[in-house]
Structures are given as C-alpha cells and as structure tokens.
Amino acid sequence: SVLYNTLISGYGNMGKIDEALELFQEMKKNQCSPNAVTCNIVMHILNRAGRYTEASALFAEMKDDYGFVPNTRTYNTIINGYLKAGKSSEALQMFEEMQKGGCSRDTITYNTMIMGLCKAGKVNDAYGIFATMEHQGCSPDVYTYNSIFYGLLKVHRLAEALTLFEVMKTKGCSPDHITYSTLINGFCIAGNADQALQFLGDLKASGHVPDLVTYSTLINGLCKVGRMDVAYKLYEDVLEQKFVPNLITMNTLLNGFGKDGQFDRARQLFAELKDMGISPDVVSYNALICAAGKVGNTDAAFQLLEEMQCAGCSPDVVTYSHLIELLSNSDKAGQAWDLFTQMEKRGCHPDLVSYNILLAGLVKASRLDDACYLMEEAKRKGLTPDLITYSTLISGFGTVGKVDEAYRLFLEMKEMGWTPD
RNA sequence: CCUUUGAUUGUGCGG
C-alpha cells in the first residue's frame, strides 16, 4: 500500500491525474487495498485538478463503503476542497463536524479555513477564526499570518496589516520571504509602491533573499502604478543576479509596457522571451493584443490572433474580449458583435465579462435596444447580470436622456439583489 | 506514503 500511495502521490505531483487515478483503480482490484492515506492522497489530487465534487464523493465513499475514519488530514483536505470550490458554508460545516466527531483540529485546519475565507474576500470571518485558534491550543504560525495579510491587503486594509505584522514579530513568529511578497503585492495593489519597495529593503536587511516571485510581484506593482522605468531597473537587477526570469516575469513586464502605450517595447520583450527559450502562452499573446489595441493598431491585433493560432496557442475568452473591445472602440460595434458570435462557434463560450464588454460597445454606438437584447440573451444563457452590466446600461440610457428606462433598470438591479455603489 | 500561504492577460460611470 505504501508503495502504491507513493506512486499515486508522485503522479499527482507531476500533474498526471489520469495515471494516478488509474493506479487507484488498479489498487482496488488487487489484493493490495487502499487505506485511509490513499484516500487522502486521491482527494488531494482531485482538489488540485479542480475536481471538488469527486473529492467529496470519495470522502463519503471512504466513510460509508470502506469504513475508514477520517483523520485530521482528511478533514483538512476536504475543507480545502470545499473552499477552493467556493463553498464556504460546506467547509465550515466540516470544520464543525470534525470537532464533534472527536477529530482534533490542528494549526493547518485553521490555516486552511483562514486562507480559504480570505480568498473569498471574507477577511472578517477569517479573523474570527484566527481569534479563536489560540484558545483551542493551535498557535498561529507564519502560514496563518501570511494568509491574514493576504486577506486584509486584498481589501486594502493596510494599517491593520501593518499592526498585525508587528504583533507577529512580537510573538516571535519570523516573517519569511512569502510574508514579504504578500506585503509587497498588497501594498502595490493599494497603490503604495514606495512602501512596497521599502519592504524589499526590509526583507534583505532581515537576512532573507528575495526570490523570483518577490521580484515579479514588485515589477508588477511598479507597472501597475505606471513606473515602468523602475520596473525595468528591477528586471535588470533580476538579470544581474543569478535569477532566470520565467514566463510570468516576462508577461508581467510585457503587459506593463503595453498598458503604458509602448507597443514596440512590448513586442521587443516578446521577442526576448522567445530568445530565452521560453514559449509564449495565451497570457503573453493577450497582453500583446491588448497593447496593440491600446495604440489603436487593429491590424496588428488581428495579425497576432493569426500568429498565436499558427504557433499552436488557442485564443481564449480573454483574447476575444480584447478584440471585441478594440473593435468597439474604433466604432465597429457591428464587427464586434460578429466576432462575439464567431467566438461561440469556435467553441469559446462568452462569459459575463465578454457580455459586458460588447454591451458597452453597443451602448457607445447608441444601440441601446440591442444592448438590452444582449443582456436578455446573457440571462437566457444562465448568466446573472452584475453591477457593471446594469451600470453600463443605466449610464447609456442616462446619456441619451431616457431617464425612465434608466430608472427601470435601476429598480431591476436592486430587485436582483445588487447594491448601487 | 497524504493536508495549509506569495507574482502575469479582459468589462461600466464619475473623479
């Protein structure tokens, strides 16, 4: 069993899900039966593949059919799956259930809950759990603090993060390079790049070594606030040191130049990354298409669409969104709609964001009735219009003086449970 | 033999 478990786990770590699951099936047929650890491993693999439903089915199976008693790790794994699937209430239910069933929680259980809630934007709930863990005999560790930082900074609660950072150090928990990356990213997304740069200094001063993720994070933050010169200097630092930039580093910088209106510079980086032996992915192409759009170069954008397909890289919903927006911005709403229809035919299903983009294009072209029709179509497809959908339409009707229509939509929006911002 | 944390691409209005 141990041998099988090791193999299954190994395949899982290599991303070879099917092989791992096949071994699991083989194991069931052989005289060597799966044990509780096997189930934990397989559940974990299913979670990593985003197959949460199958993971929870296995959880039920292991209890009901195999008669295994779930242990702390089992619960930690299943709780993580529920959280990743966006099912916080089910996760919380398991969190309660394990306690009642006599299975003790550990720091990882708390960390898993805290991180999951933070990712879902529920920092306050996460904080509540954080506040109780100590009394339950589980001391917060660096994972706990890093997760709370992530959650607080995601919603721009900078001051609280800084306070907690001091508390963490006072309590003798040393920040690690992930703590610093989290802080750097958080301050960057809140627009405070100087504080972020300060953290890079602190990190080095405290004897840690920034890694490629730290640098990429900071480069991204500097790009986002338009400080391309500093971002590029940092990239040069990366090169000067022993680091080899990866695809994410290059995409980050490429996107930064593109957003800054430097299409040629973006192209140059695209060439550089290929020279480095890195294969551009859909993110690289999308960023470059966006850059072409930014400077109004529609031809280049569509050439890139061709180019990526020739290179074996399939356009995705983001690719089409960029192109649709680009067409809308050049007063070609009709062509934008055609492309929208085509993307569907090419097997790329529009999501709410792509609907919102085309809708904005129609509104811009004063085609308000068509825009309303499009919203209805989105509903028919099972998509729920959001605050942006409604705001787009409302402002469109407002602009042309159709206040009554705007008001009708405003009421509908509230009926749908949206709170006007 | 198994579980938890950090970086890259798309959407509205106003400022």
- A111 in Cβ contact with A141 (< 8 Å): yes
The separation, in Å, between residue A24 CA and nucleotide B6 C1' comes to 33
Q: List pLDDT tens digits, range A205-217.
A: 999 999 999 999 9
- Residue closest to B5 C1′ by Cα: A143
Distance, in Å, from the CA atom of A118 to the CA atom of A202, rounded to the nearest integer, reads 25
Residue A361 predicted with pLDDT over 90: yes
Segments in A35-157 forming alpha helices (H): 36-48, 52-64, 72-84, 88-100, 107-119, 123-133, 142-154
Nearest nucleotide to A249, CA against C1' atoms: B8
Nearest nucleotide to A387, CA against C1' atoms: B12
ipTM over 0.90: yes
Q: What is the pLDDT of residue A32?
A: 84
| The two structure tokens encoding residue A54 | 């199958």
Chain B nucleotides covered by protein, CB below 7 Å: 1-14
Distance, in Å, from the CA atom of A340 to the CA atom of A41, rounded to the nearest integer, reads 42
Residue A29 predicted with pLDDT over 90: no
The separation, in Å, between residue A153 CA and nucleotide B2 C1' comes to 32
**Band of the pLDDT at A52, cuts 50, 70, 90?**
very high
List, as one string, the DSSP characters of A258-288.
Answer: HHTT-HHHHHHHHHHHHHTTPPP-HHHHHHH
For chain A, the distance separating the N- and C-terminal CA atoms, rounded to the nearest angstrom, is: 57
Nearest to A158 by CA among A199, A117, A217: A199
Q: List pLDDT tens digits, range A70-96.
A: 999 999 999 999 999 999 999 999 999
- Residue closest to B10 C1′ by Cα: A318
The separation, in Å, between residue A290 CA and nucleotide B11 C1' comes to 13
The separation, in Å, between residue A403 CA and nucleotide B6 C1' comes to 47
Nearest nucleotide to A186, CA against C1' atoms: B6
- Residue closest to B12 C1′ by Cα: A392
